[in-house]
Amino acid sequence: MSIELVVFDMAGTTVKDKNFVGIAFQQAMASQGYEIAIENVNPLMGYEKPLAIKMMLEVRESDKSKITEALVDAIHTHFVNGMIEFYKTTTEIAPLPNVEETFAALREEGIKIALNTGFSRDIADVIISRLGWEDKIDYLVASDEVPYGRPYPDMIRKIMAELGVESAEHIAKVGDTEVDINEGINAGCKYVIGITTGSFTREELLPYKPTHIIDDIAEVPGIISASHEMAVKG
């Protein structure tokens, strides 16, 4: 079966991130008195952000009665406001190397491009606008637009419904974190491609059993064209 759709993550996969997201998350937690080392923040970056906040609080707050929706909302609001302000004003926002060329190469082959993210939609929209990607992708879905974010397959299933892709066997998922890989596996994607441009190293991605691990997003079209050739021969 040939690939009809590639679903890419955003920060760390297609969008340059010098740990801007992790630092904003760290600052949001600190705003409510929770000091967390950045190395303990980064592994959670692919998750829907309110869930990541709850996961951190469960580890660091001994009085579980304090872990309320109001506390999570306060931390998340601080994070969202900080990220929106950052992405609206930063001069550092940019695609990662070879991303736009990869989008173009895939679309030339008739393959649809979608983005999904652990960000909320308001943050994602600012990023797309600043990068001028409105016409470079076919669809965008954020974690607050579905019942469950990663590692659940809801975002990929929403994309499939919107773009008319009938089977996950026609999809490749590309992302830089453990939850990207588990999302792709849970959705049943034919290819689940881990990339080392973001939060996880090759060694850290390996245990989650992606179908491929790459160091450069420009490798994606080659993986897909090889699958097309096999499909034709088959």
Question: What integer is the mean pLDDT of 115-124?
Answer: 95
Give the active site residue among 9, 17, 176, 180.
9
Q: Is 49 a catalytic residue?
A: yes
In this structure, which amino acid lies at residue 53?
I
H helix and E strand count, the chain: 10, 6
DSSP lists the bridge partners of residue 47 as none
What is the average per-residue pLDDT within 1-25? 92
Q: What's the pLDDT score for residue 232? A: 42
Instruction: Tell me what the mean pLDDT of segment 113-120 comes to.
Output: 96
Q: Give the model's confidence band at 228: pLDDT under 50 very low, under 70 low, under 90 confident, else very high.
A: low
Confidence class for position 108, pLDDT limits 50, 70, 90:
very high
Q: What percent of the chain has pLDDT over 70?
A: 96
Half-sphere exposure of 77 (CA within 13 A, CB side): 7
pLDDT band at 229 (very low <50, low <70, confident <90, very high): low
* Residue 234 banded pLDDT, cuts 50, 70, 90: very low
pLDDT at 46: 87
**Mean residue pLDDT across the chain:** 94
Domain positions in the chain:
5-17+94-233, 20-89
Residue 130 near residue 160, CB atoms below 8 Å = no
pLDDT in tens, 170-197: 999 999 999 999 999 999 999 999 999 9
In the numeric block, the tokens 């992606």 are attached to 210
Do the Cβ atoms of 75 and 29 come closer than 8 Å?
A: yes
Select the highest-mean-pLDDT range: 16-20, 84-88, 183-187, 223-227. 183-187
9 a catalytic residue: yes
What is the band of 227 on the pLDDT scale with cuts at 50, 70, 90?
low
Query: Running DSSP on this structure, what letter comes out for residue 98?
Result: T
> CB of 152 within 8 A of CB of 46?
no
Integer Cα distance of 75 and 69 in angstroms: 10
Q: What CATH fold (topology level) applies to the domain 5-17+94-233? A: Rossmann fold (3.40.50)
The residue from 17, 49, 112, 180 that is catalytic is 49
pLDDT value at residue 231: 46
Provide the 3-class DSSP secondary structure of residue 16.
coil
* pLDDT value for 16: 95
Core vs surface per residue 90-108: b (16+ CB within 10 A) or e: eeebebbeebbebbebbee
On the question of pLDDT at 157 being above 50, the answer is yes
More confident residue, 34 or 22: 34
Asked, as a colleague might, if the bond just before 207 is cis with ω within 30 of 0, I would say no
Percent of the chain at pLDDT > 90 equals 89
Lowest mean pLDDT, pick from 38-42, 111-115, 226-230: 226-230
In this prediction the pTM is 0.90
Matching residue, tokens 């959670």: 44
pLDDT (tens digit per residue) in 205-223: 999 999 999 999 999 999 9
